[in-house]
């Protein structure tokens, strides 16, 4: 009898319709106005996509407060790299005690983003940043170094403006 | 009022046909677009937000404009609309493939039957009782003449609608048969069984308004159901509305009753072998059928061109203050608003209720809907006998 009544009076269907109707109203009326939107999808690329803080992006050389490269050419990263994408040429600079990398080449097309180089670095002079838009139009653009303006290892890549991380 | 000559009435009818075609071809693409957006919103997504295209041509130009607008941090609702135009152009210029072993004549005929059966129903649907608008006197040939709310307000309007709408099943069955392929054939057979089963409760649920209003004329039925019913008529109207809507979902092959094109069992059902504008005609016919079912439901159960549903308008009208009398009169805009709400309900139900199995559909149709419709008819007859 109970089952018969439940079949006759569509309360379950009404319950389902109320749930989806609530979702519709929330998204439809607040999608453009609310600071924390109800819809659960991202709006990449109009809104930068959030990545996790542990995300392993492109290798980046860090600089200290004086604007000098922190790297001291201990070659630990070059030795531990499984795919041998890092090439460092040791050199000297005026007014600096520690060795200075004249060349620090990074072939991104072969990099596997394992982060061994960052772990092996004793001076905290390199990190993997939070950038996942690593595409480029030319193969040469994947050969990064300390020289150049467009593809160097100090800044984000020119296409990578839409990814952020909370940390 | 001058009596129109033959030429003038033909011209007026053609203008009415044009208006109906414009209405249909505005509502249908917007429904297709709304389907994507509303389904997205129901699932807490945003729906389609940009058109998929390269960097060339009109769509590319629009695309680049959208990317420039991308500096606005949150997407706007209306950005998916140019995709509609792209869809239509794609359907028209697409290659039209006919299978080798197909029956070419029937294969060609089936989509046109579907389409014609869907559109012709609009002849008997009147959007507002009486005069829709009057031509100004300076208008050539038909100046000063009134245009009625429906194309042909015939005395057997409901019979015409039900009869012609049933012809639509031939389109689907013939499409399934003439494709000479297994999936379309199964889809067509299922469709035949389902639509024949659901014709019965559909007609029975529409019989309650017929009994209550004692007429088959579309305008008269809509008028009596909206403003001429006692309070007791509310019960058979509400039950009849739910019954009719359920059967309408089944008749138009929409989810949760989409047996003919069961995407997870039969590839695309009866239109698997169709492509190009032939497929487009099936697609159009489905959405026009939805509009027709919504129009009938809103006319017979939701008060048609009056504001309040279920005959409440007739109960309210004596107490309506004078300055609100605009709300007590029939307007085509109320009718269209109800149609649009019911079209939204179609998508709402589609996004909520899971599909029925084939035997469950048959069980629901024969074991529950037909007895319920008969009880409802009995109730309506009793109210007709004692209360009206």
Cβ atoms of residues B282 and B175 within 8 Å: yes
Contact across the interface for A31 and B46, Cβ inside 8 Å? yes
Instruction: Kindly state whether residue A9 falls inside one of the protein's structural domains.
Output: yes
Instruction: State residue B71's pLDDT score.
Output: 35
Give yes or no: residues A36 and A58 share one domain.
Answer: no
Q: How far is CA B129 from CA A122, B147, B289, in A?
A: 87, 11, 22
Give yes or no: residues A127 and A60 share one domain.
Answer: yes
The whole-number average pLDDT for the span B351-373 is: 86
- In this predicted structure, the answer to whether residue A82 has a pLDDT above a threshold of 90 is yes
Give yes or no: residues A20 and A78 share one domain.
Answer: no
Average pLDDT across chain A, whole number = 81
- Which residue ranges make up each domain of chain B? 96-134+149-386
Give yes or no: residues A114 and A32 share one domain.
Answer: no
CA dihedral A25, A27, A30, A33 (to 10 degrees): -170
**Percent of the residues in chain B that have a pLDDT greater than 70, as a whole number:** 88
- The pTM of the whole model exceeds 0.95: no
Give yes or no: residues A121 and A147 share one domain.
Answer: yes
Asked if A37 is an interface residue toward chain B (Cβ–Cβ < 8 A), one would say yes
Is the four-CA dihedral B303, B307, B313, B314 of positive or negative sign?
negative
Please, which residues bridge with residue A3 across strands? none
Contact across the interface for B353 and A39, Cβ inside 8 Å? no
Contact across the interface for A10 and B73, Cβ inside 8 Å? no
Instruction: State residue A163's pLDDT score.
Output: 62
Give yes or no: residues A95 and A139 share one domain.
Answer: yes
* CATH number assigned to the domain comprising residue A146: 3.30.70.3270
Give yes or no: residues A64 and A143 share one domain.
Answer: yes
The whole-number average pLDDT for the span A133-147 is: 80
Give yes or no: residues A82 and A22 share one domain.
Answer: no
Other C-beta atoms within 10 Å of B66: how many?
Answer: 19
Binned at pLDDT 50, 70 and 90, residue B378 comes out as very high
Q: How close is the nearest chain B Cα to the Cα of A28, in Å?
A: 7
Give yes or no: residues A26 and A58 share one domain.
Answer: no
- In this predicted structure, the answer to whether residue B320 has a pLDDT above a threshold of 90 is no
Q: Which 3 state secondary structure label does DSSP give A113?
A: coil
Interface of B with A in 216-255 (CB under 8 A): 242
Q: How close is the nearest chain A Cα to the Cα of B321, in Å?
A: 33
Contact across the interface for B45 and A41, Cβ inside 8 Å? yes
Give yes or no: residues A31 and A4 share one domain.
Answer: yes
Out of B75-79, B133-137, B167-171, B236-240, which region has the weakest mean confidence (pLDDT)? Answer: B75-79
Give yes or no: residues A78 and A159 share one domain.
Answer: yes
The whole-number average pLDDT for the span B28-54 is: 76
Instruction: State residue B75's pLDDT score.
Output: 38
Binned at pLDDT 50, 70 and 90, residue B150 comes out as confident
Nearest CA in chain B to A49: B73
Instruction: Kindly state whether residue A62 falls inside one of the protein's structural domains.
Output: yes
Give yes or no: residues A65 and A23 share one domain.
Answer: no
Instruction: State residue B76's pLDDT score.
Output: 43
Phi, psi (rounded to 5 degrees) for B236 = -65, -25
Instruction: Kindly state whether residue A4 falls inside one of the protein's structural domains.
Output: yes
Instruction: State residue B374's pLDDT score.
Output: 93
Burial class (CB in 10 A: 0-12, 13-18, 19+), B44: middle
Q: Per residue in B113-127, pLDDT tens?
A: 988 998 888 888 888
Instruction: State residue A81's pLDDT score.
Output: 92
The token pair at B110 is: 């089936």
Number of domain units in chain A: 2
Q: Which domain holds residue A13?
A: 1-41
Asked if A66 is an interface residue toward chain B (Cβ–Cβ < 8 A), one would say no
Asked if A38 is an interface residue toward chain B (Cβ–Cβ < 8 A), one would say yes
């Amino acid at each position: 009898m109970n089952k018969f009544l439940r079949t006759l009076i569509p309360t379950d269907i009404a319950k389902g319709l109320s749930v989806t109707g609530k979702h519709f109203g929330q998204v439809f009326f607040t999608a453009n106005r609310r600071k924390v939107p109800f819809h659960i999808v991202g709006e990449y690329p109009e809104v930068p996509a959030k990545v996790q803080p542990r995300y392993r992006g492109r290798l980046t050389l860090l600089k200290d407060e004086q604007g000098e490269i922190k790297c001291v050419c201990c070659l630990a990263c070059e030795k531990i790299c499984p795919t041998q994408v890092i090439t460092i040429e040791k050199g000297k600079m005026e007014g600096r005690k520690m060795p200075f990398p004249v060349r620090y080449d990074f072939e991104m097309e072969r990099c596997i983003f394992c982060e061994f180089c960052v772990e092996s670095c004793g001076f905290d002079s390199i990190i993997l940043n939070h950038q996942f838009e690593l595409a480029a139009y030319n193969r040469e653009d994947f050969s990064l170094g300390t020289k150049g303006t467009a593809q160097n290892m100090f800044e984000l890549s020119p296409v990578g403006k839409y990814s952020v991380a909370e940390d | 009022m001058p009596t129109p000559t033959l030429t003038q009435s033909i011209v007026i009818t053609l203008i009415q046909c044009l208006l109906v075609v414009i209405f249909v071809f505005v509502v249908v693409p917007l429904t297709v677009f709304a389907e994507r957006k509303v389904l997205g919103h129901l699932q807490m997504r945003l729906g389609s937000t940009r058109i998929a295209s390269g960097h060339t041509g009109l769509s590319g130009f629009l695309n680049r404009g959208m990317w420039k607008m991308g500096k606005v941090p949150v997407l706007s609702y209306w950005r998916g609309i140019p995709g509609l135009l792209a869809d239509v152009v794609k359907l028209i210029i697409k290659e039209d493939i006919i299978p080798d072993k197909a029956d070419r004549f029937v294969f060609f005929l089936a989509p046109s039957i579907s389409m014609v059966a869907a559109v012709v129903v609009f002849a008997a649907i009147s959007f507002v009782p009486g005069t829709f608008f009057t031509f100004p006197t300076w208008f050539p040939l038909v100046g000063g003449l009134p245009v009625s709310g429906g194309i042909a307000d015939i005395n057997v309007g409901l019979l015409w609608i039900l009869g012609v709408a049933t012809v639509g099943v031939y389109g689907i069955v013939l499409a399934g048969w003439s494709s000479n392929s297994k999936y379309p054939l199964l889809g067509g057979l299922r469709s035949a069984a389902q639509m024949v089963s659901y014709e019965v409760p559909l007609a029975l649920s529409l019989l309650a308004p017929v009994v209550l209003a004692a007429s088959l004329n579309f305008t008269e039925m809509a008028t009596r159901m909206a403003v001429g019913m006692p309070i007791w008529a509310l019960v058979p109207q509400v039950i009849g509305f739910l019954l009719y809507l359920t059967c309408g979902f089944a008749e138009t092959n929409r989810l949760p009753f989409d047996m003919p094109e069961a995407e997870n069992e039969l590839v695309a059902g009866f239109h698997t072998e169709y492509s190009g504008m032939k497929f487009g005609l099936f697609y159009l016919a489905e959405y026009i059928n939805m509009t027709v079912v919504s129009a009938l439901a809103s006319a017979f159960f939701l008060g048609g061109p009056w504001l309040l549903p279920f005959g409440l308008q007739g109960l309210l009208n004596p107490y309506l203050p004078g300055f609100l009398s605009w709300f007590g009169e029939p307007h085509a805009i109320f009718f269209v608003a109800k149609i649009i709400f019911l079209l939204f309900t179609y998508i709402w139900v589609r996004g909520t209720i899971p599909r029925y199995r084939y035997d469950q559909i048959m069980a629901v149709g024969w074991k529950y809907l037909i007895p319920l419709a008969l009880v409802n008819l009995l109730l309506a007859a009793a109210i007709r006998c004692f209360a009206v």
